[in-house]
C-alpha cells in the first residue's frame, strides 16, 4: 500500500492558498445532484452537515444518540485557540503554527499545521456569528486567556463550558438546515458497515437501536466524524458510550490503522477515588493560569497536610524545570514531569499518585480574593495526569485533497489523521472542524489534516447517487 500525503507544492505559507486556487469547483446548480452522508453529530459532524447543506448539497446525518446535543463534544471545557492577537502580545499565525508543532512533539506535517493556524481566526468569527457566547472584556471585545504550551494569550473561551456552547451553536445551525429540508437527521442509528465501491466509500449500513432494523444508505461521499477511542483505557475522560465503532468498521474495510499508541495525556485530572468509577473527570487546564503546581521536596513530607509544609520545602518543579513557561508548560511535558516526581516517591495522597495545584498566591494577589478570604481554595487541590484523548484517526492516511484511503470518505472529529499527529495534543487546537465555506467547493474540514471533500477529477466516470454501481437506498 502506498501512503502518499499529496501535500501541495510551493512555499509553506502558500501551499493551501495555491491548492485552493487550483482546485476544481462544483457549480451551484450541480450541488443538488450530490448526496453526502455524515456519521456523527458532535462539533465536527453537526458543522459538516450544516455547512454542506448551506452550500446546496443533500445531506444525511446519522447519530446513535437521541439528539446531537448528547455528543461528547459537550464535555470540552477550556477554550479554542486562534491567532487574532487581541491582547497585542506578539501572537501571529506563525507563532500558533510553531506552538502547535512543538506541542505535538514535531511529529505533524508542517503544511497541515500551518493551515490550521491560518484558518483559526475565521473559525472564531464563524462561531460568534452562530451565537456562541464567548467571554468578553468590559468594553465588549472578545476575551482571551493563557493555556499550556503558549507564551501568549490566544484562547477564546466561554467560562468552563466552551464545548457545550460550541455544540449548541453547531446544533442550532444543523436544526436550521433540518427545518428547511436540506438535512435528513437519523437518530438512534449505529453504523454497522462502510459500503466501498471501486475503492470509494459510497454508503453505510446502519442499525436502528430502538427496534433493531438494519437499513442501508447510498451517497456520493461519506464523512466519518465519530471521535477517538480513548476507552481503550479502563478509565479515561471519555464517556463510556464513546465506543469508536464507526472507525473500526472503516479499518475492517481497508483503512490503515496508524499510531494507535499516540495519546494525549491531560495534566489536571481529578485522581481516582475508588474502583467504582466508570470514567475520569477533568479540571479545566485554565486553572494552571493561576495555580502553582508543587510536591514536597522530601518523600517523608508527602503524608503531611500541605499547609504544614514550609515554602522552602516545596518543589515547584515546573517552574524550576521550564522557567520560560512555568506552570503553563505543554500538556505532555507537564504530565511527564508529574510522573517523574511520583516515580521518585514524592507523589501525594494515599496512593502516592498525585501533585498539588495551589491557588494561595493567586488569592493573595486579588483584592477580591483577600476580602473573601478564599478559604475554599487555600487548601491545594490534588490532581494527576491521565489519558484524555486518543487523537489518532484510527484508520486513515487521509490525503489533503482526496479524503482517505477510500477517496470518498473524509474523516473528522476530535482526532486528526496520521499526517497530523500532535496537533490536538496541546489542547484548544481542534480548530479545523467544518465551517461555512465560500460557494463552489464541496469540502469537509475534519481535523487538522483539513481533508477536502470535493468533486473528484474523474467526476464523469464515477456513478452518482441512484445510478449503477450503488446499493439502493433503504
Phi, psi angles (nearest 5°) of residue 123: -70, -40
CB 353 within 8 A of CB 327: no
CA–CA dist 430, 193 (Å, integer) = 27
Reported confidence tier of residue 389, pLDDT bands at 50, 70, 90: low
| Beta-strand relationship, 155-156 and 200-208 | unpaired
Strand order in the sheet with 183-186: 183-186, 58-62, 35-39, 221-225, 411-412
Question: What Rg do the C-alpha atoms of the chain give, in angstroms?
Answer: 23
Model confidence, pTM:
0.79
Q: What is the pLDDT of residue 340?
A: 93
pLDDT digits 0-9 by tens, 170-208: 999 999 999 999 999 999 999 999 999 988 899 999 999
> Average pLDDT of 352-378?
73
Which stretch of 99-113, 315-329, 335-349 has the lowest confidence by average pLDDT?
Answer: 99-113
Tell the CATH superfamily of the 12-262+391-461 domain. Answer: FAD/NAD(P)-binding domain (3.50.50.60)
pLDDT digits 0-9 by tens, 35-77: 999 999 988 899 999 999 999 999 999 999 888 888 888 777 7
Which stretch of 132-136, 217-221, 298-302, 456-460 has the lowest confidence by average pLDDT?
Answer: 456-460
| Domain boundaries, given as residue ranges, for the chain | 12-262+391-461, 266-388
Reported confidence tier of residue 161, pLDDT bands at 50, 70, 90: confident
pLDDT digits 0-9 by tens, 101-124: 888 778 788 898 999 999 999 999
> Average pLDDT of 329-350?
90
Do domains 12-262+391-461 and 266-388 share one topology? The answer is no
Phi, psi angles (nearest 5°) of residue 37: -100, 130
- The CA angle 203-71-53, to the nearest 5 degrees, is 50
Given the residues 31, 95, 249, 331, select the one marked as catalytic. Answer: 331
Asked whether the predicted pLDDT for residue 398 surpasses 90, the reply is no
Shortest CA distance to 410 belongs to which of 155, 51, 82, 163?
51
> Average pLDDT of 150-175?
90
Name the helix (H) or strand (E) containing 246.
helix 245-252
CATH architecture of 266-388: Alpha-Beta Complex (3.90)
CB 427 within 8 A of CB 414: no
Q: What is the pLDDT of residue 227?
A: 80
| Beta-strand relationship, 314-315 and 189-197 | unpaired
331 is catalytic: yes
Asked whether the predicted pLDDT for residue 100 surpasses 60, the reply is yes
Amino acid at each position: 500500500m502506498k501512503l502518499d500525503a499529496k501535500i501541495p507544492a510551493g512555499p509553506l505559507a502558500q501551499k493551501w492558498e495555491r491548492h485552493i486556487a487550483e482546485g476544481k469547483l462544483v457549480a451551484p446548480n450541480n450541488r443538488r445532484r450530490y448526496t453526502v452522508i455524515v456519521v456523527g453529530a458532535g462539533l465536527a459532524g453537526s458543522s459538516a452537515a450544516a455547512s454542506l447543506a448551506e452550500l446546496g448539497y443533500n445531506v444525511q446525518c446519522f447519530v446513535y444518540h437521541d439528539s446531537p446535543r448528547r455528543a461528547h463534544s459537550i464535555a470540552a471545557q477550556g477554550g479554542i485557540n486562534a491567532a487574532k492577537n487581541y491582547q497585542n502580545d506578539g501572537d501571529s499565525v506563525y507563532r500558533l503554527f510553531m506552538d502547535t508543532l512543538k506541542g505535538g512533539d514535531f511529529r505533524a506535517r508542517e503544511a497541515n499545521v500551518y493551515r490550521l493556524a491560518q484558518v483559526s481566526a475565521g473559525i472564531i468569527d464563524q462561531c460568534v456569528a452562530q451565537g456562541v457566547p464567548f467571554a468578553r472584556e468590559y468594553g465588549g471585545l472578545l476575551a482571551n486567556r493563557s493555556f499550556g504550551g503558549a507564551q501568549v494569550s490566544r484562547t477564546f473561551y466561554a467560562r468552563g463550558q466552551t464545548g457545550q456552547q460550541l455544540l449548541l451553536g453547531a446544533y442550532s445551525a444543523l436544526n436550521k438546515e433540518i427545518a428547511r429540508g436540506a438535512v435528513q437527521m437519523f437518530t438512534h442509528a449505529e453504523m454497522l458497515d462502510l459500503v466501498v465501491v471501486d475503492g470509494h466509500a459510497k454508503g453505510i449500513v446502519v442499525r436502528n437501536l430502538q427496534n433493531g432494523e438494519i437499513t442501508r444508505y447510498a451517497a456520493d461521499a461519506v464523512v466519518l466524524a465519530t471521535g477517538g477511542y480513548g476507552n481503550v483505557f479502563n478509565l479515561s475522560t471519555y464517556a463510556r458510550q464513546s465506543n469508536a465503532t464507526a472507525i473500526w468498521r472503516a479499518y475492517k474495510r481497508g483503512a490503515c490503522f496508524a499510531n494507535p499508541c499516540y495519546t494525549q495525556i491531560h495534566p489536571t485530572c481529578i485522581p481516582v477515588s475508588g474502583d467504582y468509577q466508570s470514567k475520569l473527570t477533568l479540571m479545566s487546564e485554565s486553572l494552571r493560569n493561576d495555580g502553582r503546581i508543587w510536591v514536597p521536596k522530601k518523600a517523608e513530607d508527602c503524608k503531611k497536610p500541605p499547609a504544614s509544609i514550609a515554602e522552602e520545602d516545596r518543589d515547584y518543579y515546573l517552574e524550576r524545570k521550564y522557567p520560560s513557561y512555568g506552570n503553563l508548560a505543554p500538556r505532555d511535558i507537564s504530565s511527564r514531569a508529574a510522573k517523574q516526581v511520583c516515580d521518585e516517591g514524592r507523589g501525594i495522597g494515599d496512593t502516592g499518585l498525585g501533585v498539588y495545584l495551589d491557588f494561595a498566591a493567586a488569592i493573595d494577589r486579588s483584592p477580591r480574593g483577600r476580602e473573601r478570604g478564599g478559604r475554599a481554595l487555600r487548601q491545594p487541590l490534588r490532581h494527576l495526569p491521565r489519558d484524555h484523548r486518543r487523537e489518532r484517526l484510527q484508520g486513515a492516511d487521509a490525503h489533503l485533497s482526496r479524503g482517505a484511503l477510500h477517496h470518498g470518505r473524509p474523516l473528522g472529529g476530535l482526532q486528526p489523521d496520521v499526517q497530523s499527529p500532535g496537533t490536538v495534543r496541546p489542547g484548544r487546537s481542534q480548530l479545523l472542524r467544518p465551517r461555512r465555506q465560500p460557494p463552489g467547493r464541496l469540502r469537509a474540514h475534519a481535523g487538522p489534516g483539513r481533508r477536502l471533500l470535493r468533486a473528484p477529477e474523474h467526476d464523469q466516470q464515477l456513478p452518482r447517487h441512484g445510478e449503477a454501481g450503488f446499493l439502493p437506498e433503504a
